[in-house]
Structure 1
Amino acid sequence: MGRRSAGRGWRAAAWVLTPVGFVLLAGSVAYGFGRYDRVTVGGDSMRPGFPPGAHVLVRRVGSDGVHRGDVVLMDPPERYMTEPVLRRVIGIGGDHVTGDGSRVTVNGKKLDEPYLADTLGDPQAGAYDVRVPAGRLFVLGDYRANSNDSRYHLDAYQGGFAVSGVRGRVVPGATVPTGPTVFAALGLVLAAAGLGGYAAGRRAARNEQIAPPVTPRRPGTQNA
C-alpha cells in the first residue's frame, strides 16, 4: 500500500510541475524574442564602446521610450544608409542643440561625454545650431571623426532623424534581462523535477507489479 501511494504521489506531482515548468520556460523565451534583438555592430562609428564585431542586446521600444543619452538602433534616412545604424541620442524634439568642434551643448548646457573615442571632433563637420523638430532626434556617433550622423543632414529637419525609425534601445552590458532569465531557469527546474517525478512514479509502479504477494501467517503455525 505504501509503495502504491508513493508511486501515485510522484505521478501527481509530475502532472503539476511539468506543465507549469514548460509554460514558464516557453513564456520567458517568447518574451525574449518579442522584446529583444541581438545585433552585431558593423562599423566603427560608435567605438570605443561599441567596436566592430561587438554583440549588443537591443530592447524594442516605442517613440516614448527614447531619451537623451540612449544608444539606439534606428533606420536612417534613405539617402544616408540602407541598413539600421547605432547612434547616440543627443537631442529630442524641442531641444536646442549646438556644436562647434568637440563641444556640444543641449539647451545651453555643455554635455559631459566620457564615452567619446576622442575629444578632437571632426574637422570636416561645420558648426551647427539647431532646434530639433517634434518627432525627430538629433543623433551623433561616439567616434565623431568617422560618423555620418545628424551633422551632415542639417538641410532636412535640422538634421533630425525620425523617432519612428527607432527599432530599439541598446541594453548596457549586452546581458539578458534578469526577469526572463530567472523565470526561464525556474521553468527548467520545475520541468526537470516534474519529469523526474514521473520517472520515479513509473519505477514505483513497476516495483508494485513485480513484488511477490505477502501471505499473512496464521496463528499457531510455524515455518517448516
Structure 2
Amino acid sequence: MSIRQTGEVLYACSSGSADPAQRAALGHLVTAVRRDAPSVDVRDTPVEMLASTEDSAPVRVAVPLTLTEGTDVAAALAVARRGDPGLSVAAPLGPDWSLAEICVQRLIEAGGRKEDTIVLGVAGGQGAESLQGYQRAARLVSAVWGGPVHIGVVAGPGTALTDAVDLAHKDGGRVVVASYVLTPGRYADLLRHCGADLVTAPLLDGGTPDPRIVALVVTRFHQALGVGAPSL
C-alpha cells in the first residue's frame, strides 16, 4: 500500500489515559501501519501531546484511533487543530463496513447463533454525535449479521449496557454482547462483566492486528487529504 508523497506525517492519536493493555494493542496497530505505509512517518501519539508537537513536515494528518465522533480524543483534536492550521484531522475509524465485518467474525468465532439477542457493546462518548455514530455502526453490523442488533453503552448517552442486557434477558434466550471497542483494557473488561451469556473479543484482540483495521487507518489518512471515498 503506497502513499502519495514523501514528507508526510500520520499521527495515530489515542487517549493519553489508555491503560497498558490498550497501549500495547494500539502499539501493535501503529507498527502494522508503519509496515503498510513505509513512505509515511507514522507516530503513536497520545492526543494530549499533539498540541505541543513541533513539526515542519508539509503534510501532517491526525488520525483518531476511535470508533465514533464525539469522544475526548475528538475534542482534543479540535483544540490542536485550532492552534495549528496546517494540521489535518481525519475521521474516526468507525463506523465502517470493515469493522462491522470484524464484529460479525468475532460473533461467529465466539459461537453466536442467529436466535441469540445481539447487543453491540460500546464505550460511549459525549452527546448525540457519539450515539449517532454507534447507531450507524449497529445498522452495519445488523446488515452483515442478518438480524437485529441493539446498543448498550458503558458510559454516556444511550441505553446503559447492563440495562440493555437485562432487558434482552427478559425474552428468555441467550444474550450475546458484540464488542464494539477497539482494544483490550478497561472497557473490554466492563463488557465482560455486564451479565451477558457471551461477550466477543474487541476489534483488536491484542495479537496481530486485523489487516482491515490497518488498511482503514491508512484510508482515513488518504480521505483527510481528499483522496478516496468519504467515510460512512
The alignment's TM-score, normalised by the length of structure 2, stands at 0.18
Q: Greater helix share, 1 or 2?
A: 2
Between 1 and 2, higher relative CO (CA 8 Å, sep ≥ 6) is seen in: 1
Larger Rg over CA atoms: 1
